[in-house]
Amino acid sequence: MDFNSVSFRVRYGETDQMGVVYHGNYAQYLEIGRVEWLRGLGISYKTMEENGIILPVISLTLNFKKSAVYDDLITVETRLLKIPSVKIKFDYKIYNEGGELLVEAHTVLAFMDKQTKRPMKCPDYILKRLKG
């Protein structure tokens, strides 16, 4: 599975005084997309961490097209760009319920050993789920 979509409403606390989503919250929206992408593969992010694998973000790019506002139903589309190695790369698009593109984004994360904090190869069980 290289694509996942998840929808949720913008909460009041995620907005500024103008009712517009504060730009820093978009990183959390992308995280929701990634976690749900993994869940769609049958992989729990929590279990992965309990098994000693962490995935820190090493690069984040956001391109804002239009503002999300309080109570918007937004959809985060998460797409895997290629089979991961030590790094895993995602593209994202965030839409409002009218189908308007709000944000295009890209992240790069690194598979790391939780104990040593050293980069590692993507675990075989993830690769198997991606290929099978």
From 11, 23, 29, 22, select the one nearest 90 (Cα to Cα): 29
Structure letter (DSSP) for residue 14? G
Which listed residue (16, 91, 113, 124) is catalytic? 16
The shares of helix, strand and coil residues in the chain, as percent rounded to the nearest 5, are: 25, 40, 35
Alpha carbon separation from 53 to 3, 11, 48, 61, 106 (Å, rounded): 22, 31, 6, 24, 21
Q: Note if 16 is an active site residue.
A: yes
Instruction: Say whether 38 sits in a helix, a strand or coil.
Output: helix
Tokens linked to 25: 């919250």
List active site positions.
16
